[in-house]
Chains A and B, each alone.
Chain A
């Protein structure tokens, strides 16, 4: 990967409900196609199942106990240590670094600037429609607009006639074309907002998931022996207009079965909407002639409970809340060398595409998002940041993760024998 560009795709609240992770219901042909050219990690985990701490953790390569960010209200550079970030490291190594959409969590935790200018070469882009995300834009059965959880929409009726992720894709494609002409190495991070709540997506995606095909979670009850401290009472879900109207008791009351199915249906629909955005973005990478020299990384900040254990949302240590998709496309490494101009990622329409893509390589090794920083550095041919000492508050550049590139050579389904991390 020496000298290759990096396209880093981060999805908000995406658990691995993807065809390439074995989900039989979801329509995700474009992400599956990426997987078919990638090394896919089936046991990848975030360090904390909430946006800001998880993102700061994998973007700095340090765990929450080192960033000291467990909520949304501090900036690690002043609160913990002036740690280098992954994009900053690429920037300092000659890359043009670009941020589109939700990469850092906005607000205090990234200094109200997405850590610009430390991390980025130009000010990060945020879609203008983002500010309408929590507006009352969901048409209810009463014909009025509400701030619902379940929110299929007619995009033409939305403020500005669009949705944030559509705008982010457009901007990312624009930047790819700019970078193509400047011929500078780039690190482009694209952060998508969906399937984070509200589950607001173009209504046509509902057609992919007839309600009669939607099941409940296999275990939609609170486990008898679950300690009360472990339970997440999903307050953000309760506060949406449609859920509030159900008058579900706090903290353990269950949502009605039919509404559980609607949430699951809309989560799947939002994933397919996201898949279309990814498909358009990767197709543009092809169009720009950059698929032969760009590493593509795809992951999420954490997972999301879809009714398992009587829980919704994230905010827990359960695997459904912490497990994430993670895949790396490295031309010439996870695929045969790609000639310039060859189409690697033709756009696939989830409404018409029928087919199954198989991951190019698959590892069942337990890996962590904190390892993204050293892994991407190694793949790009940069010096891998050193391992952090036990106390690293004063160390600007180090990582608490480990490069997982050595797993790329393990064949499908194989779990390596012990002593990992001792090789070097």
Chain B
């Protein structure tokens, strides 16, 4: 909520899913079927996405319950093909974020 932080601008997006694996309604789940929400933040340098539990009854996303993550570093992976979310070498990045 503090917009005056000394960081570069970020663009956010999100996408809902009904399940962890692809199924017939993964593209366009109805609200009642949404169980997971993927929240992305992107800068010039990276895209960071967390897929977290989502409750359609109260619209709450639970960031304590992370189903999956994505991290793409744009400088050497501009097409976002190499997800380095689980690379321990990026621990510095998560520290910085948190």
Q: Is A366 a contact of B8 with CB atoms below 8 Å?
A: yes
Interface members, chain B 17-58 (any A CB < 8 Å) = 17, 19-31, 34, 36-38, 40, 42-44, 47, 49, 51
Known contacts A235-B24, A251-B22; A49 and B15 CB within 8 A of each other = yes
Q: Does A141 contact B (CB under 8 A)?
A: no
Per-residue CB contact flags for chain A residues 390-424 toward chain B (1 = under 8 Å, else 0) read 10000000000010000000000001001111100
Interface size counted on chain A using CB atoms at 8 A? 58
Say which residue of A70, A232, A308, A366 sits within 8 Å of B44 (CB atoms): A366
Say how far B25's CB is from chain A's closest CB, in angstroms.
Answer: 8
Q: Is A317 a contact of B13 with CB atoms below 8 Å?
A: yes
A-B contact count, CB below 8 Å? 156
Q: Does A285 contact B (CB under 8 A)?
A: no
B residues within 8 A CB of A47? 12-14
- For B26, the closest partner residue in chain A by CB is A233
B: interface residue count bin: 35 or more
- For B13, the closest partner residue in chain A by CB is A322
B residues within 8 A CB of A43? 11, 44
The binding surface of chain A is classed by DSSP as loop
Say which residue of A48, A74, A218, A366 sits within 8 Å of B14 (CB atoms): A48
Q: Complex: how many Å from CA A64 to CA B15?
A: 9
Say which residue of B1, B25, B31 sits within 8 Å of A70 (CB atoms): B31
Q: Is B70 a contact of A419 with CB atoms below 8 Å?
A: no
Q: Is B21 a contact of A228 with CB atoms below 8 Å?
A: yes
Per-residue CB contact flags for chain A residues 354-370 toward chain B (1 = under 8 Å, else 0) read 00000000001111100
Q: Does A313 contact B (CB under 8 A)?
A: yes
Say which residue of B9, B36, B68, B82 sits within 8 Å of A367 (CB atoms): B9
Say which residue of B20, B29, B67, B81 sits within 8 Å of A309 (CB atoms): B81
Say how far A229's CB is from chain B's closest CB, in angstroms.
Answer: 5
Q: Does A72 contact B (CB under 8 A)?
A: yes
Q: Which A residues contact B (CB, under 8 angstroms)?
A: 43-50, 63-65, 68, 70-74, 218-219, 223, 225-236, 250-252, 308-309, 313, 315-319, 322, 364-368, 387, 390, 402, 415, 418-422
